[in-house]
Every structure is written in C-alpha cells, then in structure tokens.
Amino acid sequence: MLSSVLPWLAILLVIGVVIFVHELGHFLAAKATGVYAPRFSIGFGPAIWSRKWGETEYILASVPLGGYVRLASRDEEGTSMLEGGGEQPAPASAEAGQPLPKWYDPNAIAPFGPKPVPTERLFESKSLPARLVIMLAGVTMNMLLGFVIIAALAWTQGMAIVRTRVIGDVRNVAGAPALVEQLHVGDTVLAVDGRAVSSWNDVLDRIDSAAGRTLAIRTQRGEVEIPLGAPAGVAPDSLMDAIAPYLTPVIDAVVPGMPAARAGLRAGDSVVAVDGNTVRTWNEMTHRIEGSPGRPLAFIVIRDGVPVRLTIRPDSVPADATGAGSGRIIGRIGAKQRSGSERVPISLGTGLHVAWQETWVVTGSVVTALHRLATGSLSVRNLSGPVGIGRASYSAAQAGWGSLLSLIAILSINLAVFNLLPLPILDGGQILLTVAESVKGSALSPRTREYLMRFGLAAIALLFVIVMYNDITSLVKNLFGL
C-alpha cells in the first residue's frame, strides 16, 4: 500500500514519468541523427534546478505542465520564447557588454560558448525521414511505456480467471435492442457459439473470436441468437461490454482517504441498498455510484448480521483517467470488491499478447473520445486537467503500485494520441508542416510559421482554460457538496 505517499509526490511521479519518457524519445532520436540539443527540460519557465552534462543543459522548470527538448534550428523564433531562448553565440568575454551564460565555456558552441552551431547539426539539415523519426520518437516512447507497463503487470500479476458463468448485468446496445429481454440477470451461460464454457473468461473469448453473422448464447432458459456486425448487428466488443458476470456486492477493502473510508465503510460489509434501491450485484451498486458524482448517497450494509446505515458522497472523477473511457465524469468511493476471480500465472508471451490488445483498446477509446469532442457529441465539460489528473494519481497511489502503474500507462497512451493532433505546437502539427514543406520544396515563410504557431498556442491556451475551469468547478462541488 502507498497510503503514506503524499498527494503531491504521487502527482509528480505520474506526470513526471509520462513527460520525461516523451521528451527522452525526442532527445535520443536527435542525438542519434546528429541534431544539436542544448536543452532538455521537464516543465516550462524559470529553472528550479539545472545541470550541464556534455553539450546539453538538463532542467527542472517551475511550471510542470509539459516539457521540451530544444533542437538547434534555423527557424527558432516560433519556439525560442517557450524553450529558453535561441542558439545565439555567447559573447567571448564580458567586454562584449552582455552577461555570460551560466554554463559558459570558451570552447563550446552556442548558447554556451562563442562558436556558432555547425550547419550539419541543425534540424533542417537532416533528411525528411530523419526529421520524422525525431518528431515521432516522443509519441513512440509513450506508447512503448504504456505497452511495457501493461505487459509487466499482466506477467507478474497473472491472469484473473472469473469462475462464474452467471450473468450479473445486461444492457441494451445498438444492434441488439432487445438484449435485456433475451438475457436476464441470474442466467447461467452454458455455451457460446456451440462451445461449452467453464468461466466468464471463456464467455468473453468466445464472443471476441466470433466470426459468423450471428452469435448463439445458450443459458438454462434456452438459446439466444444475436446478430453481429454492421449494419444491423452489434460489434463483439460492444456485446462484451453489455453483459457482465454476477459478483456479490461485498466489500473486500476500502482505500484510505477516499469517500468509503471517510464514511465508515469496512471490509466484509455486504451492500444491500444504495439511494433507496436494492442492489443484488456489484455492477448494480457501481452503476448507482458512477451515476452520482458529488451527490450524497444513502447506503445500507449488513455488518456482522446487523443492518448499518451510512451516507457516502462519491468523488467526481474523469472516466478516462480511470480507464473506463468515454470522457464523462463518474462517481468513485474507493471500495474494492471481493473478487470472484483467481490469479493464474501466464507466460511472458501471453503477457505481451495481452498488453498488445489492451494498448490498442486504450488507444481506440482516446481516438473515439477526441472524435466525439470534434463532432460535438461529447461536451468539453467532461475534460479534466491537472487537478483531475492529480486526484486520480493520489487515489491510484493509495490503492497500490499496480493501480499507480496502470494510471501511468493509460496517461502515457493518452499523451501519445493527443500529441498527434494537427496543431502546430504539437508533434502532429510539426509533422504535418514538415511534410508540407517537403512536398512544396521550400520552407514556409517566417510570417506563415508565426501565424500557425500563434494559432497553436491560442488553441492550447483555450484548452487549458477549459480544463482548469472544469477542475475548479469539480473541486468546488466536491468541497461543498453541490
């Protein structure tokens, strides 16, 4: 348990690791291709700490909202203000009328010495493939970090096998509008697609590998035919999300400092009602909690055979930060279920396969959320910023190393996808500009680059204002129970 970890330490660990790995990718690629990189900074603004090793100054800056690797460039005006100035040669002596830089070396190249940056070490001097490698290295490292963490957790923790075959929750989905009438809570799944199942893992595997136009699920009440695929059927992954196994609403543990612990919920409590509604399964309980962020809920639990009444107000948490997807705000109380699963050791190869699948699932959920934002089907009110990430980081740290590492993996993949957006200040925008200039056969004019950079900065600034407003609003609601 990490209950003694301070909130700020958890936040710095999560955000710092994700940013460091991203910038390290750019830095290593620049070094490998011979591009001069005088600065490697975690954060923006004035330096809190800095050291110079070799030809690079390494910085921890005062505004921990990102980072940068300063690459020597002919067109440095657009980013020099954000990245600590350009590569102008330092004066050879104090007689030049300017103060010497902190790490001045009379034999060094700019900005630490009087020598100009060699032309062959400028970013623009490299071939198009080399420049693309540098720009793609950051998102590649973030994806790799997420993949490695997921694979390591899967391999070390083993695979969770849910032995039950009883359905605990059913929801209608597009393509299968009558699913809740066909499958009932309490049904026992006997076979899927004509093949017998012995666990819930078998149920999911059979659905995932379905290749026909229909899927047959046989229970003790009979067989149900479900259409698969577009345009009139349901996607297998949507069907897997629509049904869940039966797990009793018994509390296995509570996270210190979270709403459940503050309200007095204990391990071993059996939840029988939430907000005046009887709950029979863990899923019924979590649905009511997730649907009530920031709103006090009346709980009735059985403790040592005696009914106990509690009032718990769930924290408001961005669903994406917990891995649940969709970008909405949900409720969390910090209670762990008494799992109906057991851990079974798996090989490294199986762990890598699980990580590959999970990495693409998370990537797909981020792309879907961005598409919904762009089309207006998802409100920007569902976005969360540093405060939301900080709260999720602290909660994950309290839950243990596994939860903290999982959050780092999810955020790292999120950052990779976000950085590929075609905004000039992001990697995706820089890649687009580089390819456009290559096709055009010449560089864009300084004025055009300046306007594009201003547009990118304005877009990021607007996004920052929106997420900070959402963070502050959510924080106020949680503090005052609004």
Report the distance separating Cα 202 and Cα 194, nearest Å: 12
Q: What is the pLDDT of residues 395-405, one digit of tens each?
A: 777 667 888 89
Residues 116 and 191 in one domain: no
Residues 296 and 421 in one domain: no
Q: Which of 18-32, 63-77, 111-125, 204-218 has the lowest mean pLDDT?
A: 63-77
Residues 92 and 105 in one domain: yes
pLDDT of residue 337: 81
Smallest CA-to-CA distance from 271 within 288, 285, 256 is with: 285
pLDDT of residue 324: 41
Whether 13 is in a domain gets the answer no
Higher pLDDT, 174 or 325: 174
Q: What is the pLDDT of residues 278-304, one digit of tens each?
A: 998 898 899 899 999 989 999 999 999
Smallest CA-to-CA distance from 225 within 185, 188, 175 is with: 175
Report the distance separating Cα 224 and Cα 243, nearest Å: 14
What is the distance in angstroms between the CA of the first residue and the CA of the last residue of the chain? 32
Whether 340 is in a domain gets the answer no
Residues 371 and 480 in one domain: yes
Taking residues 90-94, what's their average pLDDT? 57
Task: Mark 13-44 as b/e (b = at least 16 C-beta within 10 Å).
Answer: bbbbbbbbbbbbbbbebbbebebbbbbbbbbb
Residues 353 and 479 in one domain: yes
pLDDT band with cut points at 50, 70 and 90 for residue 266: very high
Most confident stretch, 144-153, 170-179, 396-405:
144-153
Taking residues 173-182, what's their average pLDDT? 79
Residues 255 and 310 in one domain: yes
Residues 299 and 281 in one domain: yes
Whether 18 is in a domain gets the answer no
pLDDT of residue 90: 66
Instruction: Output the six-digit token pair for 389.
Output: 């990430």
pLDDT of residue 322: 40
Q: What is the pLDDT of residues 254-264, one digit of tens each?
A: 887 789 999 99
- Within 10 angstroms of residue 353's Cβ, the number of other Cβ atoms is 14
> Where are the alpha helices (H) located in 118-198, listed in sequence order?
128-157, 179-182
Whether 349 is in a domain gets the answer yes
Taking residues 145-156, what's their average pLDDT? 94
Give me the sign of the Cα torsion angle 281, 283, 285, 288: negative
Which own/partner contact pairs does 407-410 have at CB distance under 8 Å and 24+ positions apart? 407/14, 407/321, 407/323, 408/13, 408/14, 408/17, 408/18, 408/145, 408/149, 409/145, 409/146, 409/147, 409/149, 409/150, 409/153, 409/362, 410/146, 410/320, 410/321, 410/323, 410/362
Residue in this structure with the two tokens 């697609």, named with its chain if needed: 193
Phi, then psi, of 67 in degrees rounded to 5: -175, 180
Report the distance separating Cα 244 and Cα 248, nearest Å: 12
Most confident stretch, 173-177, 218-222, 318-322, 390-394:
218-222
pLDDT of residue 77: 52
Mark which of 282, 299, 331 sits at the end of a domain. Answer: 331
Q: Which domain holds residue 313?
A: 251-331
pLDDT band with cut points at 50, 70 and 90 for residue 26: very high
Report how many domains make up the chain: 4
Contacts of 349 (CB under 8 A, 6+ apart): none
pLDDT of residue 321: 44
Instruction: Output the six-digit token pair for 278.
Output: 């009887």
Residues 366 and 420 in one domain: yes
Report the distance separating Cα 121 and Cα 330, nearest Å: 50
308 with 263: CB under 8 angstroms? no
Smallest CA-to-CA distance from 370 within 429, 419, 315 is with: 419
Q: Does the pLDDT of residue 370 top 60, yes or no?
A: yes
Whether 6 is in a domain gets the answer no
Q: Which of 142-151, 290-299, 363-372, 402-411 has the lowest mean pLDDT?
A: 363-372
Q: Does the pLDDT of residue 371 top 50, yes or no?
A: yes
Instruction: Write down the mean pLDDT value for the chain.
Output: 83
Residues 134 and 99 in one domain: no
Residues 268 and 204 in one domain: no
Residues 322 and 413 in one domain: no
Whether 437 is in a domain gets the answer yes
Report the distance separating Cα 250 and Cα 428, nearest Å: 47
Taking residues 170-178, what's their average pLDDT? 78
pLDDT of residue 318: 72
Whether 337 is in a domain gets the answer no
pLDDT of residue 121: 93
Report the distance separating Cα 326 and Cα 290, nearest Å: 13
| DSSP calls for 229-251 | STTTSB-HHHHHHHEEE----BE
Mark which of 100, 125, 150 sits at the end of a domain. Answer: 125
Report the distance separating Cα 150 and Cα 359, nearest Å: 8
Give me the sign of the Cα torsion angle 249, 477, 418, 124: negative
Instruction: Output the six-digit token pair for 406.
Output: 């999982």
What is the percent of the chain with per-residue pLDDT over 90, rounded to a whole number?
A: 37
pTM of the full structure: 0.72
Report the distance separating Cα 16 and Cα 317, nearest Å: 21
Higher pLDDT, 233 or 205: 205
Q: What is the pLDDT of residues 308-366, one digit of tens each?
A: 999 999 988 776 544 444 457 889 998 988 766 678 888 999 899 989 989 998 898 88
Q: What CATH number is associated with residue 233?
A: 2.30.42.10
pLDDT of residue 147: 97
Report the distance separating Cα 155 and Cα 351, nearest Å: 5
Contacts of 102 (CB under 8 A, 6+ apart): 50
> Where are the alpha helices (H) located in 343-426, listed in sequence order?
348-375, 386-399, 401-419
pLDDT of residue 479: 58
Whether 453 is in a domain gets the answer yes
Mark which of 245, 270, 296 sits at the end of a domain. Answer: 245
What is the percent of the chain with per-residue pLDDT over 70, rounded to a whole number?
A: 87
- Whether the link from the prior residue into 259 is cis, omega within 30° of 0, is no
Higher pLDDT, 28 or 209: 28
Residues 359 and 441 in one domain: yes
pLDDT of residue 97: 59
Most confident stretch, 24-38, 114-128, 239-253, 305-319:
24-38
Most confident stretch, 235-239, 306-310, 459-463:
306-310
Q: What is the pLDDT of residues 3-13, one digit of tens each?
A: 444 566 777 78
pLDDT of residue 130: 95
pLDDT band with cut points at 50, 70 and 90 for residue 477: low
